[in-house]
Amino acid sequence: MVKVLGTCLLFVASTVSAASAETFVIEADAAGHEATVKIPVGAVTKMSANSAQTLVGYADPQIEAMRLSGDVLISIAGSTQPIEIRADQVVVELTADSTPDESKDTRANAAPNKLLRFTGRSTVLSGSGDSQVFVGNVVFDLQTSSGPMEIKADKVEHQLTTEAGA
C-alpha cells in the first residue's frame, strides 16, 4: 500500500510540475547564427537530441560546450517552475553551479524569475494564447535551482504552459 501511494504521489508531483512549465522554442536563423544556452550543470534534469558534438577548445576553459541538433529538448529545474528548451540546433554551455553568495549580482537575480534584454533591433510578435515571439538579438536571463542561466538567440517563442486541471 505504501509503495502504491508513494508511486501515485510521485506521478502526481511530476504531472503538476510538467503542467506549468515555462517553454522556450528556439528557431534556427537563416543567416547561420547559432543560438546559445548557458546553464548550470546541476539544473539540467534532462537533455536529448539526435546529434551531439563536443566543442573542444571553446572560448572559456571553465565551460563544457556542445552543439546539439535535431529535436533538441532540455529540461531545467527553474527556481519557481520547470523550464523547457526546444530547438532544432543550439550550442549548450554547461557552467559550474553557483552558491547563493556567488549569484548575488547576476542579471538573472535582478528580476524574481526572468529578465529579458534586447540588443540592437528587436521585435516582439504576438503569439497564440500564452505565448510571445521575440525576434532580433534576444537574451533571456533566468534563475534556476543551481544558479543563473542565459538564452541568446535571434528568434525565441516564449510559452507559459498551463494545462487544464493543474
Averaged pLDDT score across all residues of the chain: 76
Say whether pLDDT at 85 is over 90. yes
In this prediction the pTM is: 0.74
Comparing 43 with 128, the larger pLDDT belongs to 43
Domain range summary for the chain, segments of one domain joined by +: 21-157
Q: How many CA atoms lie within 13 A of 24 on its CB side?
A: 30
- How far is residue 51 from each of residues 30, 56, 70, 72, 119, measured CA to CA in Å? 20, 16, 6, 9, 30
3-state secondary structure of 123: strand
58-73 confidence digits (pLDDT tens): 878 889 999 999 999 9
3-state secondary structure of 163: coil
Comparing 135 with 25, the larger pLDDT belongs to 25
How many angstroms from the chain centroid is the CA of residue 4? 33
107-165 confidence digits (pLDDT tens): 444 444 556 665 545 566 665 667 888 888 889 999 999 999 999 998 899 887 655 44
Say whether pLDDT at 25 is over 90. yes
